[in-house]
Amino acid sequence: MPRVTGNWYDYPQYYDLAFAEETPAEAEFIAAACRKYAVGPVRRLLEPGCGSGRLVRALVEQGFHLTAFDTSAPALDFLRGKLKQRRQTAELFTADMVDFQLPKPVDAAFNTYNTFRHLLTEEAARRHLECVAAAVRPGGIFILGLHLLPPDASEECLERWTAKRGQEKVVFTLRVIATDRRKRIERLRVTLLARNAKRELRLADEFDLRMYTAAQIKKLLASVPAWELCDVFDFWYELDQPLRLTNELSDTVLVLRRK
């Protein structure tokens, strides 16, 4: 069967399925972090780069009011359909992570699982942090999740996992195919094989992500004084066990508070 070359974000049903198992723990951590770190009650949440909206749906289910945006029309259409099926509502719009405004500040924002790393320059990353700061009220928080690359870490990476939903089974493979530490860019190839009783789909996509060490993310945060770093966690989301932002940390979740 031939392989389709395209943007895997244009297949939100599979992107959604790829990280479905992580969604409950992420959503619970976001809700708990809002209770612990935000000054005042948190009711309104923002997700920049929401993709398929798996976290939007999970947090609406918990009673939050969600605002979310993305540049992908297929992803937003998928999310609208899922919300309609569940009789849920959220404010959705099309925008870029480095150029957006909200008519009313939210209480907290979140950007998890490397969405932030799609911003390939320091200027774009700083602009995103500034835009989120403008969108979050003082005392509100921003939860930022990304992989750091320790200076002595291997540049090779291969992950393969399987997910199922109903009669459909999907095998995902994610591989780092090139790394440039000077330019701080790594290139990833993602492939998926989706099968159900009626059809098969093979999809291949490649894209770049910006690389960060602990020192580099600290420097970036220091350049946006609207934020203060409250605590650091990994992808185990153990709220009672904060970590130190050092070169030993890879899977990283930063809790920032708006000054």
Determine the Cα angle at 217 with ends 216 and 222, to 5°: 100
Query: pLDDT at residue 129 above 70?
Result: yes
Residues 146, 118 contacting (CB under 8 angstroms) = no
Residue owning tokens 């939860």: 143
pLDDT value for 213: 95
Alpha-carbon separation of residue 95 from 6, 128, 165 (angstroms):
21, 12, 30
- Pick 7-150+212-258's CATH classification: 3.60.20.10, 3.40.50.150, 3.30.360.10, 1.20.950.20: 3.40.50.150
Identify the pLDDT of residue 185.
97
CATH 3.40.50.150 location in the chain: 7-150+212-258
**Where are the alpha helices (H) located in 62-108, listed in sequence order?**
73-86
**pLDDT tier at 208, thresholds 50, 70, 90:** very high
* pLDDT mean over 156-175: 92
Indicate the class that CATH gives domain 151-210.
mainly beta
Query: Please, where in the chain does CATH 2.20.130.10 lie?
Result: 151-210
Residue 108 has pLDDT above 90, yes or no: yes
- Is residue 212 helix, strand or coil? coil
Give yes or no for a contact between 39 and 249, defined as CB atoms under 8 angstroms apart.
no
pLDDT tens string 137-148: 999 999 999 999
pTM value is 0.95
Nearest to 234 by CA among 220, 255, 250: 250
What are the backbone dihedrals phi and psi of residue 92, each rounded to the nearest 5 degrees, phi first? -120, 140
